[in-house]
Amino acid sequence: MDKMFTPITIGRHILKNRIVFAPAANLLASDTGFATSELIEWTKARAKGGAGLICIGQSMVNPTPPEMSGFVLDLTSDKVVNGMYRLVEAIHQFGAKASIELVYMEFGTPPKEGGNITAEDLTTIRTDTSINDKMANKKPADLSKEDIKQIINYYLEAAVRCKRAGFDMVLVHGAHGMFISDFLSPIRNTRTDEYGGSFENRCRFVCELLDGIRSAVGSDMAIEYRLSAEEKTKNGLTIEETLAFAKIIEKKIDALYISAGVLENDEAATFTFPPAYYKRGINVHYAKHFKDVLSIPVGTVGAIDMEMAKRIIDEDKADMVSMVRSLIADPDCVNKAKQGRYDDIRPCVRCNTCINQPHYFFLPVRCAVNPVAGHEADVKRISLPAKKKKVVVIGGGPAGMEAARTAAKRGHEVVLYEKENCLGGMLRTAAAMPIKTDMKKYLDWAIRQTLKCENVTVKLATEATVERVKAENPDAVIVAIGAEPNMPPIDGINHKKAVWAGDIDCGKVQVGNTVVIAGGGLTGCETALSLAQQGKNVTIVEMLPIEAIVKSAPIINMTALMMMLRESNVRFLSETTVKRISDDGVEVVDKDGEERVLPCDNVILSLGVKPLREEAQKFDNLAPEVYFIGDCQLDRGNLWKATTGGFNIAMEL
């Protein structure tokens, strides 16, 4: 048996394998902080999928302001125990152990008049420093000793409630810049009493906290700790400091998980949730440093899939592998890996939709490749269809493939028409660049699963005409023909210098050394980065302000892109419009009306796509049920909307 699937002991508990479902905010609890059927089914799916330890994320030990409370477990009330008990039952049902992350957040006094965080504020958290200050502007020096005792007491009461609910472990979250990590920092902790100054004094708060939890819950409940090896910010904690700290708390805990980065800084947060542009497992090397000097199990986390997890454990780089996104994308990935079915594991594309929703917009978790994620309870309530239907799907892109597979698994007979000689649609273009290896892996998986899916007949290189669709005599038609590149009426848009970004990404067209990219959205930035890494001189021209661009896609990914573009010397001209393309280059005008010409060898057009609505309408009324999904009916589509749209329609057939 793979070492990954051998048992490991944490405290007095034996895990059946080395895979941990890491804690993360999902916002599936009730608005009053209690367990819901949505949270229970979400958790149950990951336990059923084979993980050895399931950790419930972001559970609050202290009262939170009304405007920021709810949708995560509130551990300040005895009433929460009942729902948590049912949550633990669901985990234990499949032989997994249950842990829960204890989180304390210090909320400062909002500086705005009236003292409330508005709904508008919630959409700009972590992209507006004043909002960050609003959420947490207190430091250790602001606390009295009575305050410190109260904080510790919050943890103790919460841990006792978790034990009453049947949890096997509690995880103290001291990573990612959480408030308790401020005590360790010589910069953020300016206290002059026994809780500040020397290194030993700066460790005192956490030591008292861990001793208090142990005294409250006893030795039969394990205590885990989460730590950022490095905070990746100016004057942030370094691995030398965190290693020394880990040695001090080693005897007080039963396991340690090593992460990196802090959440209140967008750029540092990219190391906490490494996006698709970073190498997988970029934080793994940290765990080895701790494993070499500690006697307790050490886990690693950060952009790891099952194949990498196997290598990490086999090569003794960590004792356990903690994952979130891979288990969101495919809750059954652990069982599939144990059975050797790695090709059947639905890959995570690290788009960070699952992080963007809860962390930045206070919304429930969603996944771009797994439409069931966050909807597990809803899907269970949908019954199988009363009768088998003949379903025609037009278009073999991500929306069409998802719809075809889902309808077939529900027992329908599906015919999928794709006019090209291969499946994938525009996703083939999106996955073509060297920096899009995750997307390419998902594309390959989706094609494999569609081609081998029972009840699906795939007709490649066959354009769906009205006559062909009528001849199928379908009960339902799902139209997923996508979109075409948007080519607005810019003077000179058909100039020989102008090329479409998709042709560049696919390698169909080569460009000169100096290029201007018209359009600074996600695709434009990705194309710019790919070309810059080839040594090209790249300038991006974008109409919108930079803040709007960063928020136009998952913020962590856009932040990482902006960092990498800056490091690659890509020039970004925001609030600037392309006026004309000519032999001289690109004539642009900025927000102040100033015009200039940017000399270049080529202009790359990345101006979005235009839905093929008129073409799609040809198939209306060809069956009792006709549905339009994906880019052909969206003004701004993406993979998440494509897969979700295809899945939702197919589930209703």
* Domain assignment present for 363: yes
pLDDT of residue 118: 39
Tell me the mean pLDDT in the region 318-325.
Answer: 98
Residues 445 and 343 in one domain: no
Statement: residue 114 has pLDDT above 70: no
pLDDT of residue 546: 87
For residue 408, what are the domain limits? 384-485+611-652
What is the Cβ-side half-sphere exposure of residue 363, based on CA atoms within 13 angstroms?
12
* Domain assignment present for 490: no
Q: How confident is the model at residue 605 (pLDDT cuts 50, 70, 90)?
A: very high
* Domain assignment present for 97: yes
- Domain of 544, CATH number, reads 3.50.50.60
Domain final position from 354, 377, 400: 377
Residues 545 and 475 in one domain: no
* Domain assignment present for 176: yes
Tell me the mean pLDDT in the region 196-224.
Answer: 97
Q: Looking at 349-390, list the stretches that DSSP marks H as alpha helix, in order from N- to C-terminal side.
A: 353-361, 376-380
Tell me the mean pLDDT in the region 504-525.
Answer: 94
Q: What is the DSSP string of 446-477?
A: HHHHHHT-TTEEEETT----HHHHHHT--SEE
Q: Global pTM?
A: 0.93
CA distance linking residue 297 with residue 256, whole number of Å: 7
Tell me the mean pLDDT in the region 46-52.
Answer: 98
Cα angle: 640, vertex 643, 646; to 5 degrees: 140
| Residue 244, SS3 per DSSP | helix
Q: How confident is the model at residue 113 (pLDDT cuts 50, 70, 90)?
A: very low
Residues 441 and 588 in one domain: no
Domain count of the fold of the chain: 3
Q: Tokens at residue 358, please?
A: 């809860």
Place of tokens 């996104």: 325
Three-state secondary structure of 66-79:
HHHCCCCCECCCCC
Q: Residue 478 burial (CB < 10 Å; 0-12/13-18/19+)?
A: buried
Percent of residues, the chain, with pLDDT higher than 70: 95
- Domain of 427, CATH number, reads 3.40.50.720
CB neighbourhood size of 2 (10 A): 14
Statement: residue 135 has pLDDT above 50: no
Residue 502 C-alpha from the chain's centroid: 25
Higher pLDDT, 298 or 359: 298
Contact call for residues 260 and 302 (beta carbons, < 8 A): yes
CA distance linking residue 214 with residue 220, whole number of Å: 9
pLDDT of residue 132: 41
* Domain assignment present for 454: yes
Helix (H) / strand (E) element for 207: namely helix 199-217
* Domain assignment present for 492: no
Statement: residue 603 has pLDDT above 90: yes
Statement: residue 307 has pLDDT above 80: yes
Three-state secondary structure of 289-345:
HHHHHCCCCEEEECCCCHHHHHHHHHCCCCCEEEECHHHHHCCCHHHHHHCCCHHHC
Statement: residue 125 has pLDDT above 80: no
Domain final position from 377, 393, 425: 377
Contact call for residues 575 and 543 (beta carbons, < 8 A): yes
Residues 527 and 422 in one domain: no
Q: How confident is the model at residue 136 (pLDDT cuts 50, 70, 90)?
A: low
Q: How confident is the model at residue 65 (pLDDT cuts 50, 70, 90)?
A: confident
DSSP assignment, residue 3? Answer: G
Residue type, 459: K
Tell me the mean pLDDT in the region 398-422.
Answer: 98
Residue 73 C-alpha from the chain's centroid: 20
Contact call for residues 49 and 334 (beta carbons, < 8 A): yes
Q: Tokens at residue 464, please?
A: 């769906």
Cα first-last separation, the chain: 42
Domain final position from 343, 377, 411: 377
pLDDT of residue 1: 65
DSSP assignment, residue 349? Answer: -
Place of tokens 């199928």: 472
pLDDT of residue 64: 86
CA distance linking residue 116 with residue 185, whole number of Å: 30
Residues 551 and 459 in one domain: no
Residues 340 and 396 in one domain: no
- Per-residue pLDDT tens over the stretch 266-288: 889 999 999 999 999 999 999 99
Residue 403 C-alpha from the chain's centroid: 23
* Domain assignment present for 491: no
Residues 518 and 579 in one domain: yes
Residues 142 and 213 in one domain: yes
Residues 337 and 399 in one domain: no
Mean pLDDT of the chain: 93
Beta strands in 72-114 (DSSP E): 97-103
Q: Residue 274 burial (CB < 10 Å; 0-12/13-18/19+)?
A: buried
Residues 441 and 460 in one domain: yes
pLDDT of residue 473: 97
pLDDT of residue 124: 40
Residues 411 and 284 in one domain: no
Pairing of strands 483-485, 609-611: antiparallel
* Domain assignment present for 116: yes
CB neighbour burial string for 66-85, b if at least 16 within 10 angstroms, e if fewer? ebbebbbbbbbeeebbebbe
Listed residue (218, 158, 148) closest to 182, CA to CA? 148
Q: Tokens at residue 374, please?
A: 């966050």
CA distance linking residue 617 with residue 614, whole number of Å: 5
Residues 106 and 222 in one domain: yes
Residue type, 438: D
